[in-house]
Structure 1
């Protein structure tokens, strides 16, 4: 799939020939820096790209054999919230401030189940609030979003997303604005919801810690493209793309006492004017200025053990990973000596 935005400065290639699949009951983690195309991919799936300036110019989005790009807006609206649920990043801007949280959940239920009356929808909404851990759900039903904390609002969003037992859940940075304790609680709620519905879950985040704890497989995106795909264990044990290595190298570790983290040098690419060749080569510690990195776009290819990577020198990444570990070990030795 390819999604673009037409701007006065040029065409932004936000999602550039991206492909991945999703299976019932699994959690697919989608990671990358801001601007890598994670959220635009999710919004494209749901048909929520604003047109104009956005447009999906190529590809297909297959759900149970149907191409969502060929569905009418009416059919897509019926699909959203029923078969595919979305948990947005900021619940305060996603919830309607002039309706109670209970009425919003009940509306979601009645919209996709015409035979359900108001009383039945209210009962179901209260059950959902209780399931996602909202205390005193009967009273909370009649409260407005501003009367809830950030964690409670996110629980309400999860309740709305699972109200109709969807087959796919998309969680876009579901814990970004929450403190660590509330993050853990919300993620427990999300896991419970997934187990209850057996939904396939897409978890979009920049937090590799969340991915390590919650994902089964991982898609790494950079510059609007997929640069690595692997199961979660392989990503952390033996990644095969320099960008993934850079993300992990910049993570704080409890076993190493360092004064400053090692960031990825430079900035994410300009999606209007991507670098020639591999979009990551200006920031890459593996490229070492080699011509092929500057001139040829690497294809996403199998690199063994079920992993895929879009790198000309993916075989050299494990050695660089060992170097990073040695550097971290040396810092640890200095800190403890």
Structure 2
């Protein structure tokens, strides 16, 4: 396998609040390889977006602070890089698609002006006319109708889907090596979601950028990701290829996510959610932070007292579970229970 284009090593990001220190990202490590799409999944508050913002150096201080780790982009540590050099990388070699384009786009500048600015900021020799031509090409590439006219319109004159397309155009304007998409289909209806994801897929193919797809939607992960990082309580709890994650998860939290998905072959009145609530990041439970909600732990002392490392589970996969070898058997139990409910439902 080739060397990673981006490596996160032991990243820890905290926020100081009146209630205490929030450990939003807690000793997180993973690699992103050239050309791949790495899916990052987990419940709200699991640390997905904070990891992305840490990579880009966008953690506001105070209250946020990065207290440990390395973020290596082609061997260069972004955490120790001079601010001027980091700004040069943002928007050129590392592109970002934010969750909400309405708040990410400047409301007093036209969409075209903002794309042109992204181009000229990283190419001082580019003329205004050349930037306009390139911006119109980008809007065309991402499927914006009437790109010449849309160029001169403001963000509020665009629909949600059109604004997100403009954000994608801006993110890929300088052919980045890494593209981060943070919940790129938030607040869009299903039809527009599909269109935006097709645009994102096309953009990735044209730029060959390694992509980080941050989402809570496992359907998007199944369709678009090559490998998956599962986060819980600010930590990575499982890393595996996308087929292993869905067919044979090795962490109980991942199994819980799979079990809570709606299915077309089961007619049930309600879904099967993970019991309990996500952990308090100010006061994490001792041992494995998932053990209070875990159906594999069964109250065992090891789970309650020792934080599990990321054990090697084979084929390059890792899982932070003391009893990961028991998860497949528990998955079989879940399947039987689902089958029994299917039979009792008369479907």
TM-score range, shorter chain: over 0.9
Q: Distance in 2 between matches of 1:301 and 1:53?
A: 33
Residue of structure 1 in register with 2:322 after alignment: 312
Residue of structure 2 in register with 1:36 after alignment: 46
Q: 1:272 aligns with which of 272, 277, 282?
A: 282
Q: Does 1:117 align with 2:118?
A: no
Q: Distance in 2 between matches of 1:324 and 1:128?
A: 47
Q: Does 1:23 align with 2:50?
A: no
Q: Distance in 1 between matches of 2:155 and 2:141?
A: 18
Residue of structure 1 in register with 2:228 after alignment: 218
Q: Distance in 1 between matches of 2:117 and 2:76?
A: 26
Q: Distance in 2 between matches of 1:118 and 1:168?
A: 26
SS of match in other structure, 1:325: helix
Q: Distance in 1 between matches of 2:130 and 2:16?
A: 46
Q: Distance in 1 between matches of 2:346 and 2:281?
A: 44
SS of match in other structure, 2:31: coil
What 5-or-longer segments of structure 1 have no aligned partner?
none
Q: 1:143 aligns with which of 142, 153, 173?
A: 153
Q: Distance in 2 between matches of 1:174 and 1:225?
A: 22
Aligned length: 337
What does 1:51-66 correspond to in 2, within 5 Å? 51-66=61-76
| Deviations 1:113-150 (CA, angstroms, capped at 9, x unpaired) | 11100000000000000000000100010111001110
Residue of structure 2 in register with 1:106 after alignment: 116
Residue of structure 2 in register with 1:330 after alignment: 340
Q: Distance in 1 between matches of 2:202 and 2:171?
A: 13
Q: Does 1:86 align with 2:99?
A: no
Q: Distance in 2 between matches of 1:101 and 1:332?
A: 50
Q: Does 1:191 align with 2:206?
A: no
Residue of structure 2 in register with 1:8 after alignment: 18
Give 1:336 shift.
Answer: 3.5
What does 1:65-84 correspond to in 2, within 5 Å? 65-84=75-94
Residue of structure 2 in register with 1:295 after alignment: 305
Q: Does 1:252 align with 2:262?
A: yes
Give 1:335 shift.
Answer: 2.8
SS of match in other structure, 2:22: strand
Give 1:307 shift.
Answer: 1.2
TM-score scaled by structure 2? Answer: 0.96
Q: Does 1:170 align with 2:183?
A: no
Q: 2:107 aligns with which of 93, 97, 108?
A: 97
Give 1:305 shift.
Answer: 2.2
Give 1:256 shift.
Answer: 0.7
Q: Distance in 2 between matches of 1:303 and 1:247?
A: 19
Give 1:334 shift.
Answer: 2.5
Residue of structure 2 in register with 1:241 after alignment: 251
SS of match in other structure, 2:206: helix
Q: Distance in 1 between matches of 2:25 and 2:206?
A: 32
Give 1:53 shift.
Answer: 1.0
Give 1:232 shift.
Answer: 0.1
What 5-or-longer segments of structure 2 have no aligned partner?
1-10
Give 1:333 shift.
Answer: 2.0
Residue of structure 1 in register with 2:211 after alignment: 201
Q: Distance in 2 between matches of 1:66 and 1:307?
A: 26
SS of match in other structure, 1:33: coil
| Deviations 1:79-104 (CA, angstroms, capped at 9, x unpaired) | 00000000000000000001110110
